[in-house]
Amino acid sequence: MNHQHFDIAIIGAGPAGAVAASLLNQQGFKVCVLEKQHFPRFVIGESLLPHCMEFIEAAGFLPAVQAEPSFQFKNGAAFTWGSRYTEIDFTDKFTAGHGTTFQVRRALFDDILIKEAQKQGITVRFGDSVSAYNDDTAELTVQPENGEPYVLQTKFVLDASGYGRVLPRLLDLETPSQLPPRAAHFTHIDDNITAPDFDRNKILISTHPKHRDVWFWLIPFADNRCSIGVVGLPERFAGLDDSEHILKTFALQVPMLARILANANWDNEFPFRYITGYSANVKSLYGKHFALLGNAAEFLDPVFSSGVTIAMHSAKLATDVLSKQLRGQNVDWQTEFAEPLMLGVDTFRTYVNGWYDGSFQDVIYAEQRSPDITRMISAILAGYAWDESNPYVAKSERRLAALAEMVGEAVYR
Ligand code: FAD
Contact 345, 298 (CB under 8 A): yes
In a domain, 52, yes or no: no
In a domain, 368, yes or no: no
409: pLDDT strictly greater than 90: no
Reported as a pLDDT band with limits 50, 70 and 90, residue 120 is very high
Write down the mean pLDDT value for the chain: 96
In a domain, 89, yes or no: no
Same domain, 8 and 30: yes
**pLDDT digits 0-9 by tens, 305-320:** 999 999 999 999 999 9
Pocket test of ligand 1: the residue of 19, 33, 41, 44 to mutate, having most ligand atoms within 8 Å of its CB, is 44
SS3 31: strand
Same domain, 219 and 267: yes
Same domain, 301 and 327: yes
Provide the edge-to-edge strand list for the sheet that holds 183-190.
84-89, 76-81, 202-207, 215-220, 225-232, 183-190, 273-276
Which residues partner with 123 through β-bridges?
32
Using alpha carbons, select from 31, 24, 12 the residue that is nearest to residue 166. Answer: 12
Mean pLDDT of 134-161: 97
Same domain, 307 and 199: no
Same domain, 120 and 246: no
Task: Read off the CATH number of the domain in which 167 is found.
Answer: 3.50.50.60
Same domain, 209 and 261: yes
pLDDT at 331: 98
369: pLDDT strictly greater than 90: no
In a domain, 213, yes or no: yes
Domain boundary among 295, 329, 344: 344
**pLDDT digits 0-9 by tens, 168-178:** 999 999 999 99
pLDDT at 268: 83
pLDDT at 383: 98
Distances from the Cα of 299 to the Cα of 200, 269, 276, 280, angstroms: 27, 29, 12, 5
Contact 231, 302 (CB under 8 A): yes
Could you tell me the distance, in angstroms and rounded to a whole number, from the CA of residue 107 to the centre of ligand 1? 11
DSSP states of 98-133: ---EEE--HHHHHHHHHHHHHHTT-EEEETEEEEEE
Same domain, 303 and 229: no
Same domain, 244 and 322: no
**Residue 302 φ/ψ, nearest 5 degrees:** -80, 0
In a domain, 398, yes or no: no
Contact 155, 290 (CB under 8 A): no
What is the rounded (10 degree) CA torsion for 113, 315, 380, 298? 110
Domain boundary among 229, 258, 276: 276
| Identity of residue 138 | A
Domain that holds residue 219: 183-276
224: pLDDT strictly greater than 80: yes
413: pLDDT strictly greater than 80: no
Contact 51, 94 (CB under 8 A): no
Distances from the Cα of 20 to the Cα of 32, 43, 136, 234, 384, angstroms: 11, 19, 22, 35, 19
Task: Read off the CATH number of the domain in which 270 is found.
Answer: 3.30.9.100
CB of 140 sitting under 6 A from ligand 1: no
In a domain, 326, yes or no: yes
CB of 311 sitting under 6 A from ligand 1: yes
In a domain, 68, yes or no: no
pLDDT at 408: 67
**pLDDT digits 0-9 by tens, 188-208:** 999 999 999 999 999 999 999
Same domain, 164 and 286: yes
Contact 412, 362 (CB under 8 A): yes
In a domain, 73, yes or no: no
| Identity of residue 240 | L
Distances from the Cα of 7 to the Cα of 22, 34, 175, angstroms: 14, 14, 30
Domain boundary among 276, 301, 333: 276
CA distance linking residue 222 with residue 71, whole number of Å: 6
Share of the chain above pLDDT 90, in %: 93
- At residue 245's C-alpha, the angle toward residues 243 and 250, to 5°, is 95
Quick one: which atom of ligand 1 is closest to the CA of 299? 45
Same domain, 12 and 110: yes
**pLDDT digits 0-9 by tens, 127-146:** 999 999 999 999 999 999 99
Q: Look at the chain and report how many structural domains it folds into.
A: 2
Same domain, 154 and 118: yes
CB of 59 sitting under 6 A from ligand 1: no
pLDDT at 368: 84
Contact 341, 60 (CB under 8 A): no
**pLDDT digits 0-9 by tens, 52-70:** 999 999 999 999 999 999 9
Pocket test of ligand 1: the residue of 102, 246, 308 to mutate, having most ligand atoms within 8 Å of its CB, is 308
pLDDT at 412: 39
Same domain, 248 and 111: no
Of 268-272, 315-319, 351-355, 373-377, the least confident:
268-272
43: pLDDT strictly greater than 80: yes
Could you tell me the distance, in angstroms and rounded to a whole number, from the CA of residue 37 to the centre of ligand 1? 13
pLDDT at 367: 87
CA distance linking residue 108 with residue 161, whole number of Å: 18
pLDDT at 406: 87
